[in-house]
Amino acid sequence: DAGVIQSPRHEVTEMGQEVTLRCKPISGHNSLFWYRQTMMRGLELLIYFNNNVPIDDSGMPEDRFSAKMPNASFSTLKIQPSEPRDSAVYFCASSSSLLPRQEILRQPQHFGDGTRLSIL
Amino acid sequence: AQKITQTQPGMFVQEKEAVTLDCTYDTSDPSYGLFWYKQPSSGEMIFLIYQGSYDQQNATEGRYSLNFQKARKSANLVISASQLGDSAMYFCAMREGLRRANFGNEKLTFGTGTRLTIIP
């Protein structure tokens, strides 16, 4: 079975440019999560969607970051304009909440391979 | 206050020895789940093992087991007969109980991780 698919795997761009990261969750999963990982701050949840609706975006750093999920099989995380401090590994993860409540609790999140973003 | 605390930033262990990675958590919710993930140097996040707060027995999965001490709020990961391929970052994470009807608490809170190095 295909796992969570992220693209691109690596992105190097100059500051000020728009960056778009893409994610395809596991088929049948209805929850999608965007994380950022840095040495300084560890793994941070940026935003998560349930049934394509943003549920919690309290981790989105600032207005330069935006995320969309136009359908169940695709999500984007956009940074505009990008800055060097945005350099990090960005992960997308998915899980299912289409289960009895106690089963939802034990569902792991399945991660993509991440996008390594470098802003020069 | 940190919800998940991993106090060992790094550990070195001789190959074939058992290793225990510490994780303590903080929650007032009686229903919660604890997860361990492995992140090798290649960067992907791999789900290892799950422990539910109401589970009667400690979780086991192959060479991985959880030493779950609910009163102490600890969920230490034990790796038996360590192998060179076990060298990686290990993250402990918690999902608190689902209080809202349909969604809301699916997100995971991660610790800062422990870097495990297996010495040949």
Q: Which amino acid is at B41?
A: S
Find how far residue B110's CA is from the centre of its chain. 9
**pLDDT surpasses 80 at B113:** yes
* CB-nearest partner of A97 from B37, B103, B112: B103
Q: Which residues of A28-62 are buried (b: 16+ CB within 10 A; e: fewer)?
A: ebbbbbbbbbeeeeebebbbbbbeeeebbeebbee
pLDDT at A1: 64
Q: What is the C-alpha separation between B94 and B33, in angstroms, rounded? A: 6
Q: What is the C-alpha separation between A55 and A75, in angstroms, rounded? A: 14
Q: Which amino acid is at B102?
A: N
Q: What is the C-alpha separation between A86 and A65, in angstroms, rounded? A: 10
Q: Do B91 and A43 touch (CB under 8 A)?
A: yes
pLDDT at B98: 61
Among candidate residues A42, A57, A106, A109, the one with its CA nearest the CA of residue B96? A106
Average pLDDT over residues A21-38: 96
pLDDT in tens, B28-73: 888 899 999 999 999 999 999 999 999 989 999 999 999 999 999 9
Interface of B with A in 36-75 (CB under 8 A): 37, 43-47, 50, 52
pLDDT in tens, A38-94: 988 899 999 999 999 999 899 998 899 999 999 999 999 999 999 999 999 999 999
B10–chain A nearest CA distance, Å: 14
Among candidate residues B115, B111, B117, B119, the one with its CA nearest the CA of residue B35? B111
pLDDT in tens, A79-99: 999 999 999 999 999 998 888
